[in-house]
Chain A
Amino acid sequence: MDMKTNPPMLNWPDRADGFAVPYAVFSDPALHAREQARIFGGETWSFVGLEAEVPAPGDFKATAIGAHPVILVRDREGQLRVLENRCAHRGALVCREPRGRVTRLSCVYHQWNYDLTGRLLGVPFRQGANGKGGMPAAFDPACHGLRALRVTALHGLVFATFSDTVEPLADYLGSMVVDSIARICNRELRLLGDQQQYMHGNWKLYAENTRDPYHASLLHLFHNTFGLYRSTQTGACVMDGAHRHTMLYTKANTSNADTDREVYRDVRSYDSSFKLADPSLLAGRAEFTDGITLVILSVFPNLVLQQIANTLAVRQIVTHGPEAFELVWTHFGYADDDAEMQRIRLVQSNLIGPAGLISMEDGEAVEIVQRAVRESQAHASYIAMGGGHAEDADHLVTEGAIIGFWEHYRAVMAL
């Protein structure tokens, strides 16, 4: 990988009145290759799945860190392993199914067999056949296992890294992220289901999107209309010390209808008189004593953990080249949810995901930017809402965390 090569030519403009991102970062193939090495393959921890997805020994899930195919598997002793999904022989995918339960990992091409820790067990025809062929005498199976990544699970979320040197997960995440994960994942989780959403845009447009409280009440009008999220609510947008990660949160029912009408005077189709024919869509339960009704926790580089009303989900970013990525949503509740609680979560899941009444627009937002900036390599965006600096905000009319993301990105990428 090109860790040591020079960074691609990129003119990153400095401006005193805010921040600018050169549009080339959203389509340049050289930058994309560098991201795969320095970010997804480098000094970061990536989310790979929930422990609940692999509850028993032998359970595996094939996934990816950026574009690198990996296997999350629970070994015979119950320990979580993350292995490169690439045969040590000639590079074939070892797990070809998205998930399943196995006793060992076997490449179909030449039947090289590995145990669930990635150790190479056997090679067919190692001694040849009829006294001919076979592997060289010096062949040592111990040197040809599946590469094992460092793995750490935190409150049921599993992270892995290719790096031997990155700090331990808890230090990488910082207390803000650790506390936020602990708050949502406070007891055993129960899977409700997956959704896959393929977006024709660069993954960093989504990283911006989930660090951007400014757009939430302007693009997502369903949100706005029903008072689930208004920029006038009590809320905040805060980062960890390194500005890698962002937590955006709000409390519903903290805004005032009269002030809102004034603040949203110029906003298209703001209409607080809109009523649901069947309000059971929004019926829920207060689950958290802190009054926080919405959390979007963006964890660099590939995870969003969310609570929107009673919906809980992780969204994993999987890159597909510089101009596409997939968002894998895994919705969950708690193992001790009663039938009514589970019903509430499933009804509220109408709000999120690729068909979500709140969230569907993010796919559109990513793509309309990608389509417009693809051929605009010489131009740059302008980001200044909230003051134009990478700062925390105790309000929702800010783009400070987006700037924090980009400053961190530049540091990791050495750009």
Chain B
Amino acid sequence: MHARSPFEQSHDIAQLLARYAHCIDDDRLEEWPDFFTDACDYRVVTRDNVDRGLPLAAIACHSRGMLQDRVVSLRHANVYEKHRYRHLVSNVLIDSAGETLRVRSSFAVYRTRTNGASDVFLVGMYDDEIVAAEGGWKFRRRTVICDTSRVDTLLVTPL
């Protein structure tokens, strides 16, 4: 990747965040781990635990392999009601620190269940570290900080 201007960079990041959201919303979960570097840190935490200084994550993956394992488990082992997500991502804020981009954005995820009803499932923010890697920008760290701490029924599909 040639050196990117700040405008190109912010276009790239907007596209990355959108591609990630569409990947999940289109249920192409097998492609989801490819958004991450091999060694990575993907965690879904709540604002409540973060504010209390507590480290617990609902999902905590420290390698692309663990992301793949979660997808394989969801496809082959876990039992849950079919559902679909719709991510809305906005307020993208990019700060660069050397080679790493620190990117924060807000999200809302709507969940549509088999009865056809949609609800706001979770809202919160993504706190990301994004690096230029082979094949484009990748998440080295993606921390999903949920304002919503009460999960309705279960959290299956990654955010």
Contacts and interface: CB of A to CB of B under 8 A. Distances in A.
Interface string B58-94: 1111110110111011001111110000000000000
Contact of B77 (A269, A278, A346, A364): A269
B79 A191 contact: no
A222 B151 contact: no
A276 B65 contact: yes
Contacts of B69: 276-278, 281
A219 B79 contact: yes
B134 interface: no
Interface in A157-206: 191-200
Contacts of B54: 191-194
Contacts of B45: 193
B23 interface: no
A246 interface: no
A199 to B, nearest CB: 6
A221 B79 contact: yes
B48 interface: yes
A347 interface: yes
B121 to A, nearest CB: 11
A81 to B, nearest CB: 22
Interface residues of B, number: 37
Nearest to A342: B55
Contact of A194 (B49, B76, B77, B79): B49
How many A residues touch the partner, as a band? 35 or more
B152 interface: yes
A222 B78 contact: yes
B156 A355 contact: yes
A77 to B, nearest CB: 25
A219 to B, nearest CB: 6
Contacts of A361: 78-80, 154
A360 B80 contact: yes
Interface in A337-368: 342, 346-347, 349-350, 353-355, 357, 360-361, 363-364, 367
Contact of B57 (A191, A197, A346, A363): A346
Contact of B56 (A193, A274, A277): A193
A349 B72 CA distance: 18
Interface in A271-321: 271, 274, 276-278, 280-281
B34 to A, nearest CB: 13
A197 B149 CA distance: 8
Nearest to B61: A350
A347 B56 contact: no
B151 A198 contact: yes
A225 interface: yes
Contacts of B66: 277-278, 280-281, 350
A326 interface: yes
A192 B54 CA distance: 5
B154 to A, nearest CB: 4
Given A349-B60, A357-B78, A222 B73 contact: yes
A230 interface: no
A32 interface: no
B151 A347 contact: no
Given A269-B77, A278-B65, A349 B56 contact: yes
A331 B81 CA distance: 26
Contacts of B65: 276-278
B17 interface: no
A350 to B, nearest CB: 6
Given A276-B69, A277-B68, A278-B66, A331 B56 contact: yes
Nearest to A313: B56
9 contacts: A195-B46, A197-B151, A197-B154, A198-B151, A225-B77, A269-B76, A331-B56, A360-B78, A360-B155
Given A196-B150, A360-B156, A367-B153, 14 more contacts: A194-B49, A194-B149, A195-B151, A274-B76, A277-B72, A278-B69, A280-B63, A280-B66, A346-B60, A354-B58, A357-B78, A361-B78, A364-B154, A367-B81
Closest 3 CB pairs of A and B: A193-B56, A278-B65, A277-B65
